[in-house]
Structure 1
Amino acid sequence: MSLAKNVEFLRSLPKMNGFNGFGAYGLALESNRQSPLVETTGFGSNPGALKMFSFTPDTLQKKPGLVVVLHGCGQTAAGYDLGAGWSMLAKRYGFALLMPEQRSSNNANTCFNWFNPEDIAREHGEACSIRQMVARMVRDHKIDPRRVYVTGLSAGGAMTSVMLATYPDVFAGGAVIAGLPFGIATNVREALSGMMQSSSRPAGELGDLVRKASKYKGPWPKLSVWHGSADRTVNPANGNEIVKQWLDVHHLPQAAMSEGTVDGYPHKVWWNADGETIVESYTITNMAHGTPLGIAGNDERYGVEGAFLIEAGISSSYHIANFFGLTERVRQPKAAATESPSAKLIPLVSPISASGPDLPKAPRPKPTPVRDAPPSRQKPDRVIDVGAVITRALTAAGLMK
C-alpha cells in the first residue's frame, strides 16, 4: 500500500487521541507565551522536509550536551516545548535543545512518519533530516558529540526509537514516552495495530531489527522508557517491548537487576559491568496517554499541564535530563573564579560513562569506566572506591538522584 493510501486510510478513521486533538492545544500554548525557540533553515538537503527549531541558553556547560525533542501528533515544536518544559531545563542546566517539527504536507496529523520505510532508514527521509539538524547544532554551538540525546512523546517517541536504531553512533542515549519499538510497522495499518494490540515478539527478533538498521556494532545508546498503565492510545505493552528490544541489543538479562519506586511509581533498572544504568523503565500507574509532569528533584516545576501533558506527580523531563547526565548546575562566570577547577569536574548526578557516541565516520572509543573524583577532592583511594560503589548502587535502585 502506498503512503498516500495509508494517509487516506488514516483520515477516514474515527478520531483517535493519539492522532487528533493535539493541534488546538499546541496553538493555545503558543498564543499565551512567546516561544524561545528559533527556526533555522539551510541545515542540509532535508530529504524529510522537516522544520528545524532550537534553543541555546546564554550560558552553556563547558562541554555542552544536546537534547533532541520530538513532539507528538498534532503538536508543534513550540507547543510541546512549553508543555514539557524542555527549554526551561536547558536554560537552568546549560545544554542546547533541538526540536524538529513535522509539516502537515508530510502527514495530515503532523505525526512523524515512524512507520514509513522511506523515512526511517539511515540517510533517508525524516531520520536523515533530523541527523542533519544535529550536525548543524554540533557545528554551530560546539556541542560535545558524545553528549547528544533524543526523546519524544507518542509518534515522537516512536521516532525516538527510529533515531536510536538508525543512528546509534550519533546518540549517547534516548528516552521514549508512550512510544513503540523500532521496526514493527511499515505502513499505517501495521502502525495502528501495533498501537492498539502490541503483539509480543521474541527478544532476539526485536533486537535484530535494531542491529540491521545500521552497520554499527556498538557500544549502543542507553535508554529510558516511560509509559502510563492506563494508556488507551498506545498499548502499555509497547513499553515492555521497547525494553525487551534494547535489553537484547545490550545483551542484558530480561529480568530487572533492581526494582523500586521513584516518586511513588514502579522503576526498573539494568546496569552494565561498570555499574552504569543502561536501561530503565517507569510505569506511571493509572496514567493515560501523555507526558507525565510534576515537581522535579530540585522542587521546581517544568512544563504546563494540558492535553496529553498530564500532572502525575513526577517530572519526566527532569528525570530524563538527569538520566542523560545533564543536570549538573551550569557555572556562572562569577562563580567560576571562586571555585577550584576540580569542583567543576565532580558530577552532581548519577555517575555516567565518560564514553559516548561520536559523529558518523569518526571512530568511537571503547567505554571508559566511571572515574573517581579528581585528585584535589580525593580522600584515600579505598574510601573513594567504596563511596563510588555505594553511589552507583543507590542510583541504580532509584534511591538517589
Structure 2
Amino acid sequence: MRDPRRPAGGRRRSGSGVRRRIAAAVGALAVTAGLVAAGPPASAAGLTRVTGFGTNPGNLAMYGYVPDALPSGAPLVVALHGCTQSASDYYTHSGWPQLADRLGFAVVFPETSSANNATSCFNWFEPGDSVRGGGEALSIRQMVDKAVAQYGSDPRRVYVTGLSAGGGMTANLLAAYPDVFAGGSIAAGLPAHCAGSVSAAYTCMYGPPDRTPAQWGDLVRAAAPAGTASWPRVAIWQGTADTTVRPANASELRDQWTNVWGISPTPSRTVSLTGGTTLSVHDDASGRPAVEVYSVSGMAHGLPVDPGSGAGQCGSTGTYYLDTICSAHHTARLWGLDGDGGDPGTLPAPTGLTVTGTTDTSVTLRWNAVAGAESYQVHRGGTKVADTASTAHTDGGLATGTAYRYTVTAVDPAGRVGAASTAVTATTTGFTPTCHTASTYDHTVAQRAWASGGRAYARGSDEYLGLWNTFTVRTLKQTAPGHYVTGGC
C-alpha cells in the first residue's frame, strides 16, 4: 500500500510498519523463494548509470547496456529484476546482454530499492505504481523515452521483460502502455492487475482467482488507452515445480492475453524444446505467434538460462537463474529480434538466397536485391553474423565438414529490419583430422578398427595394430570419415 507520507513525484520515505507489511506479503517473491541478491548494486562492467530521465515519480534508478557501434534505429529491451535483486544481478545472469551483442539492440535495466519496498521488489500489487501515468510504471516509461533519445532506439520496437515481481510489473506495463511496448515476456509472474493490495498479492501468487478469460482480458482493456486495437506479443515462462508463483498463474496469463488478442486459449500447436520445455503457440489471425507459453518441466521459481556460447544459449547460473533453456533467446525470436520470422519490418524478404560456393572453412551466399533496402543482415543459425550493402557475402572461419543454416534480411535507411528470407543450408568441405588413443579392443568397439583371428586392423587403411585385447594400446588418426591410420599424431 502507498505510504501517505510519500510526496507526490518525490522520494518515498516509507515507515517501518508499512515496510514490514509489504515485506510480509511480497517478500514471498524473494525471501520464501530464496531470491537473494547476487552481488553489489549495479556496477558490472558495461552497465552504465543513466540520470535525468524525467520526473521519476517511482523513485527508480536507470541503468543501460549498449553494444559497441550499435546503429541508430536498433530495438530496445527493458529488463526488470526480481525481489532483493539489482540491475547488476540481472545484467550478469539473465543473458540479455549476450543477446544484445549477438542480435544488436540496447537494454535498459530499471532498479528499485528498499526505499520503495522492503525487499526491493517492483510494486506490481500497488495500484499507484502499476497504472498508466503514475509511480514506477511512469518512471519506466520515462526511461524508454530517455533511451530512445540517447541511444537512437526505434520507438516501434521497444520490449519489456521481467522475473517474478518484475514479471508482475511487466504484465501491468503491457496493459498500461500497449502503445509503447511491442512485446513482453513474463517469467514466473502474475496476470496484469491480479492484485490491487498487499493482501491480494498472496492470493495471486499461491492461487490466482479463477476468472474467465473475458474477465482477465477486461482488466487489460480497462488499463489501456481507450480504443487500443494493437496489442503486444507476449511470452509466458513458468516452471512446473514453482511453489512461490504457482503454475496456475501461467494458465491465467494465457487466458488473459489470448482473450485480449481475440484468439483461442487452445494452442495452435505445441513444440518440444530443450531443457524439458514445452512451447504452446497461439497464433493471431494472420498465422503469426501472438502468445507463447513455455512450461519448463521440474523447474522451480526462477528465470530459465542456458550458459554457453552456442546460438541458442545465454546467461549464467546463480540464485534463481536456473540452467534449463535460454529464455532470452526464445523470447527474442518471438519478438523478431533475431531477424528470423518474429516481427518483420516493412521490407519484404530477400528472394533467391543461394549457396554459390563452399570451402573447408567458408560459405559464399548470393541473393536478389530488395527495392528500398540500404543494407542486408546475414544470419547463421538465427544469429546475425554480418551486415553488408552487397547482395553477396562470404562467411568465413567455419568448421570443416559442417552444415550451417542461413537466412538474410533487408534493412531500410532507418535501420528497420524486414522479413527473413527462406533458409538455405550449406555444408563446408574437408575433414578435420582427429587423434584417438585407446586399446585395440576399444578401437573396435568405437568402430575405428576391426578384428580378425585375434588381431586388430585400422578401419579404412587396414593397417595392422597388433593383438586384439585390452592391453595393446595404439594411437589412430582419423583422416577422413571411416578412415584411420597409425601415424601423424
TM-score, normalised with respect to structure 2: 0.66
Identity %: 39
Distance 1:116 1:68 in 2: 20
Structure 1 residues 296 and 261: alpha-carbon distance in aligned structure 2, compared to 1, 3 A threshold: farther
Quick one: which of 320, 323, 331 aligns to 2:331? 320
Quick one: which of 14, 20, 25 aligns to 2:38? 25
Structure possessing the higher relative contact order (Cα contacts under 8 Å, 6 or more residues apart): 1
8 Å contact kept, 1:6–1:189: no
Are residue 85 (structure 1) and residue 95 (structure 2) matched? yes
Aligned residue for 1:239? 250
Q: How far 1:11 sits from its partner (Å)?
A: 3.6
Aligned residue for 2:304? 292
Read off the aligned partner of 2:289 and give its amino acid letter.
T
Aligned residue for 1:305? 317
8 Å contact kept, 1:73–1:112: yes
- What pairs up with 1:2-401 in 2 under 5 angstroms? 3=3, 7-12=19-24, 16=28, 18-19=30-31, 21-27=34-40, 34-60=44-70, 63-216=73-226, 217-263=228-274, 264-294=276-306, 298-299=310-311, 301-312=313-324, 314-328=325-339, 336=387, 339-340=390-391
If you compute each CA radius of gyration, which structure gives the higher value, 1 or 2? 2
Which consecutive unaligned segments of at least 5 residues does structure 1 have?
A: 355-369, 374-383, 388-401
Range with greater deviation from structure 2 (2-11 or 92-101): 2-11
1:221-253 per-position Cα deviation (integer Å, ceiling 9, x unaligned): 010000000001101100111111001100001
Q: How far 1:266 sits from its partner (Å)?
A: 1.2
Distance 1:137 1:101 in 2: 15
Q: How far 1:298 sits from its partner (Å)?
A: 3.8
Q: Which has the higher helix share?
A: 1
Distance 1:159 1:349 in 2: 35
1:47-97 per-position Cα deviation (integer Å, ceiling 9, x unaligned): 001000001111325630000000000000011111112112111221000
Q: How far 1:209 sits from its partner (Å)?
A: 0.4
Range with greater deviation from structure 2 (52-61 or 164-173): 52-61
What SS does structure 2 have at the residue aligned with 1:231?
coil
Read off the aligned partner of 2:298 and give its amino acid letter.
N
Which consecutive unaligned segments of at least 5 residues does structure 2 have?
A: 4-13, 341-375, 379-384, 395-404, 413-417, 424-489
Read off the aligned partner of 2:390 and give its amino acid letter.
E
Distance 2:178 2:30 in 1: 27
Q: How far 1:325 sits from its partner (Å)?
A: 1.3
RMSD (Å) for aligned C-alpha atoms = 3.2
Structure 1 residues 142 and 177: alpha-carbon distance in aligned structure 2, compared to 1, 3 A threshold: same
Distance 1:350 1:245 in 2: 35
Aligned residue for 2:6? none
The count of residues paired between Structure 1 and Structure 2 equals 351
8 Å contact kept, 1:36–1:87: no
Range with greater deviation from structure 2 (6-15 or 191-200): 6-15
Structure 1 residues 317 and 209: alpha-carbon distance in aligned structure 2, compared to 1, 3 A threshold: same
